[in-house]
Structure 1
Amino acid sequence: MTDDTAIPELPRAIALAWGAVPSPQRGPKREFSLEQVLDVAVDLADADGIDAVTMPAVAKALGLTAMSLYRYVSSKETLMLLLQDRGMGLPPGSVSDAQGWRSGLEAYAEASGAVYRRHPWMLDIAITGVASTPNNLAWMEAGLAVLAGTALSREERVAVVLQVSGHARFRALVERGYADRADDAGEQLSGIVVSEARLLGRLVTEDRFPELHATLGSGALVDDSFGNFDFGLARLLDGVAEYLSRSA
């Protein structure tokens, strides 16, 4: 019978992230700290994307042999997990310093977006479950702390933080896609948006897509004075505020 109360053993990659793996007592002394190894990996990813981060590439950048790197991280999967946590960093003070839960969540969304703008390759690392590395958990803690004074239940607070995090991630994903496309085409972002609208204008007929046709005709898709994502976040938080008001 399975013991549901047993505390699971930490996977080695998670233990490494938490500094819970003792340094080997035998063998040659390590030339670098794990943090230095990860900083080199971050630099490679910032320069050339996540695909540039391979065990041989990190080893070469450090002046090590590929086999020597395994003394620091045991696999590519471990490297990716530690790299993501290193790139995430700790939440800034703007989140905890904000006055009120709404301002706190706005700061949380902005800070999350800033991480993705600084390290866009992080969007290419798949989400496979609840993050269990220290920096990722610090972000979850910061979001929950913002909501600590509200009447939301524990479950509701988690749900709200996940929604805000997801909004920030999706926004960063869309913005990166447009920015990459503009770079590839050698155009301004506004030019890409106008080109898209013109293409849609050829495809969208009034009889088949009446609402989209009217939207195109209004110029809404090329109106850069309207912040779609800012509007979306504001309405999300309006919904939380309304829910709190009704609950009270």
Structure 2
Amino acid sequence: MLATTEGIILHLVKYGENSVIVNIYTKEFGRQAYMLNISSGKRSKNKAGFLQPLFLVDLVCYQKESRDVQRIKEIKNTPAYQNIPFDIAKSSQVIFLAEMLSKTLREQESAPPLFDFIKNSLLYLDLMEDHTASFHLWFLFRLTEYLGFLPDTQKTGFEGWLDMRKGEVVPFEPSHPFFFHKEATEALGTLASLKIREIRTLKISRNLRSYLTSKLVEYYQLHFEHLGEIKSLKVLHEIFA
């Protein structure tokens, strides 16, 4: 059947001389793989240019449940980012988040609230003028709610450590290594209370930001065995160092 949907580019791989297989998280069908012809010429170069990680697209596609790889009839970049492609800090965050999403979004079914969360968050990042360095922390924390493993950062009158295995703050340092130290737990509790427009108010050091990023990735790795190494994490650390 011929269908229309909004989509978010996850990643692509070249297939033959003139085609690519694009993994797209769609609003109507969840994660899908699509075959797209890329021939030579200026128009095709423009098409390939917007098949970048987490770019937003509208597409008309041939959708068939029995098929592993669907086909795209028409695709266009809309809405187009104004700043992300030209801002090294923002683009580095997007590449990092694209790798995280590509390895965690596996369901081939519609989840409009999750789709809207990702899309609206990216559009907000694109328009943020300053204090964007903690955006990826806020995004990864909020994403856990949609994926079903939101940690409980509430404390009841004690200083604590976030135990990643339990997914909650505990009053004693865990005997295993999967926990956030006390300063990071405190910062995560603050982050948990922020709305997206309040990200700029989070005041933390570069070292703490780097630590929180690594520990959030580790928290995801505990819930997704196939997550493996996040190659873009090292680049992200270097950009914000």
Asked if TM exceeds 0.5, the reply is no
Larger helix percent: 1
Larger strand percent: 2
**TM-score normalised by the chain length of structure 1:** 0.28
Q: Which has the larger radius of gyration?
A: 1
